[in-house]
């Protein structure tokens, strides 16, 4: 089992690191997420899916780690929450974001996540389903709708660009 876990780490930890880094923007924070994710993965090794779905499974764990991190911080740090719009690295980066990422950030959180998983983590139907904990059919529909909303958002922000908003 340890060998299998070592392989899991060797094959996937940089992908999970990239996943976390895309969402936290900080290497140190991202490494914390990776550490926690693999700790949970080890603990839940009995639930580990077939090899082709290992990475989406790790993404699903990492998503929960990130979500709980955010929730906990919100709960614990009232003052920080009051200062949320003071400049921080993320805010600073926002001013230089590509248009499509700026538009992405205008969408609902679940739309953002499925689009990131598709575009940045490169997941497709069944992998998305594992990562999101839903059926493949539901993942496909959610992705379709999220893509439409992103296209609409882009069109709203830059009508001249003419992003298609139809299927």
Residues 77-136 that bind another protein (CB under 8 A): 77-80, 82-83, 85-89, 91-92, 94-95, 97-98, 100-101, 104, 115-116, 118-120, 122
Q: How far is the CB of 6 from another protein (least distance, A)?
A: 7
- Burial zone of 25 (CB within 10 Å; 0-12 exposed, 13-18 middle, 19+ buried): middle
Q: How far is the CB of 166 from another protein (least distance, A)?
A: 7
Q: How far is the CB of 37 from another protein (least distance, A)?
A: 9
Counting residues that bind another protein (by CB under 8 A) gives 75
CA distances from 162 to 52, 103, 166 (A): 37, 14, 11
Binder among 14, 49, 52, 105 for another protein (CB under 8 A): 14
State the CB neighbour count (10 A cutoff) for residue 60.
Answer: 19
Binder among 48, 49, 51, 67 for another protein (CB under 8 A): 67
Q: Is 69 in the site for another protein (CB under 8 A)?
A: yes
Are 117 and 59 contacting, i.e. CB atoms less than 8 angstroms apart?
yes
Are 100 and 154 contacting, i.e. CB atoms less than 8 angstroms apart?
yes
Q: How far is the CB of 110 from another protein (least distance, A)?
A: 16
Applying the rule CB under 8 A, the residues between 141 and 160 that interact with another protein are 147-148, 150-151, 154
DSSP-derived 3-state class of residue 167: coil
User: Which of 88, 138 has the CB closer to another protein?
Assistant: 88
Binder among 65, 129, 130, 132 for another protein (CB under 8 A): 65
CA distances from 16 to 55, 62, 73 (A): 8, 7, 21
Helix or strand holding residue 47 (H, E): none
DSSP-derived 3-state class of residue 135: coil
């Amino acid at each position: 089992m340890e060998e299998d876990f070592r392989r899991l780490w060797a094959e996937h930890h940089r992908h999970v690191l990239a996943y976390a880094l895309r969402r936290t923007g900080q290497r140190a924070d991202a490494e914390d997420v990776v550490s926690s994710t693999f700790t949970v993965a080890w603990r839940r090794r009995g639930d580990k899916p077939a090899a082709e779905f290992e990475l989406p499974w790790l993404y699903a764990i990492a998503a929960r780690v990130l979500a709980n991190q955010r929730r906990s911080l919100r709960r614990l740090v009232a003052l920080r929450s009051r200062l949320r719009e003071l400049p921080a690295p993320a805010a600073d980066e926002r001013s230089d974001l590509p248009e499509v990422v700026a538009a992405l950030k205008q969408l609902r959180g679940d739309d953002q996540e499925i689009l990131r998983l598709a575009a940045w983590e490169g997941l497709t139907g069944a992998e998305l389903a594992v990562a999101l904990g839903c059926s493949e059919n539901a993942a496909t529909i959610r992705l379709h709708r999220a893509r439409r909303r992103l296209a609409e958002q882009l069109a709203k922000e830059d009508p001249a660009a003419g992003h298609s908003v139809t299927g």
